[in-house]
Amino acid sequence: MTTGDDQNAAVWQSRDAVEKWVAVEGEREAARAAQRQLMADLLPFGPDEPFTFLDLGAGTGAAARAVLGSYPRAEAVLADFSDQMMAEGARAMAPYDGRYRYVAFDMITDPWAGTLPDSFDAVVSSQCVHHVPDERKATLFAEIHAHLAPGGWYLNFDPVSADDPIVAAAWRRAADRADPGAAAKAAHRTPDEQARWENHIRYIAPLDRQLGYLRAAGFQAVDVFWKHLDSVIYGGCRVPQPT
Ligand SMILES: C[S@@+](CC[C@H](N)C(=O)[O-])C[C@H]1O[C@@H](n2cnc3c(N)ncnc32)[C@H](O)[C@@H]1O
């Protein structure tokens, strides 16, 4: 449960919070390597095809790197609202210099028009849509759909919540077995850790609701391409133009 106000911008625009997040990025990314690669593999491009994609809420660019690494002629726009994350990302993205650029973009307050390019061949997001309230998830998905080229895909790797408390308890049981220290850590968070945790869970929404937002936005071929407990990769495509 969350208690205080939305502190999302304060968390992600804080030097301290970003340093703590980056300190364990190597470990976190090692555990996510298969999901990163799956997102790249799901995109409908040939190995030598040139295309431009958006990584929304890109942070240090982990999702973008998987795509750039798989498609040597791809180019990326990385959008984020945290100068601190983008500065860290400039280091992590160095192997892809010349094939990407960062754009300062707040998913909640900034208009797409005039900030981001009008059209992308694909859009990916990872671990950031859960930072926006549900009403904005729905309108954001509609904006993504509107700015995708026909046949373009949107894929999102994010946590979801369970509608059913019995399902939530089963997820927790399995997660605690996999990481026996997690429950003790959760019971002894510092105030800072508690604030970051509350920020993490504040707007996590049930999977079906998010799939509904995708369909309402006009996406076709909506699917959950991967799922483990509360972690999913879902997405869909903008209907291709008739040939
Ligand atoms: C958990 S990190 C994930 C970063 C990266 N996508 C990844 O998978 O490693 C969440 C990212 O979302 C960004 N973010 C959160 N709220 C945002 C907003 N309203 N607009 C733009 N970026 C936002 C943060 O700055 C941060 O970089």
CA distance 6 to 39: 30
115 CA to middle of ligand 1, Å?
A: 17
One-letter amino acid for residue 104 of the chain? A
Question: Any residues with Cβ below 6 Å from ligand 1, and which?
Answer: 8, 12, 57-59, 62-63, 80-82, 85, 105-108, 126-128, 131
Who's near 13: CB < 8 A, 6+ residues apart?
81, 82, 83, 84
For helices 25-42 and 62-70, the axis angle rounded to 10 degrees is: 50
170 CA to middle of ligand 1, Å?
A: 28
Pick the atom of ligand 1 nearest to 58's CA: 6
pLDDT score of 120: 98
Closest protein CA for atom 10 of ligand 1: 128
100 CA to middle of ligand 1, Å?
A: 17
Structure pTM? 0.95
CA distance 39 to 231: 14
pLDDT score of 186: 87
The token pair at 83 is: 């100068």
Listed residue (92, 238, 108, 139) closest to 76, CA to CA: 92
23 CA to middle of ligand 1, Å?
A: 16
- Counting ligand 1 atoms within 8 A of each CB, the residue from 56, 131, 136, 204 with the most, and so the one to mutate, is 131
Position of tokens 């240090």?
60
Closest protein CA for atom 26 of ligand 1: 59
Domain ranges (residues) in the chain: 8-237
pLDDT score of 2: 64
Q: In this structure, are residues 40 and 71 in contact, taking their beta carbons and an 8 Å threshold?
A: yes
pLDDT score of 100: 98
158 CA to middle of ligand 1, Å?
A: 11
Q: To 5 degrees, how large is the angle CA 144–CA 104–CA 117?
A: 45
What CATH architecture does domain 8-237 belong to? 3-Layer(aba) Sandwich (3.40)
CA distance 240 to 243: 9
242 CA to middle of ligand 1, Å?
A: 36
pLDDT score of 69: 98
Q: Tens-digit pLDDT profile for the chain (243 aa)?
A: 666 788 888 889 999 999 999 999 999 999 999 999 999 999 999 999 999 999 999 999 999 999 999 999 999 999 999 999 999 999 999 999 999 999 999 999 999 999 999 999 999 999 999 999 999 999 999 999 999 999 999 999 999 999 999 999 999 999 999 998 888 888 899 888 888 888 888 999 999 999 999 999 999 999 999 999 999 999 999 998 776
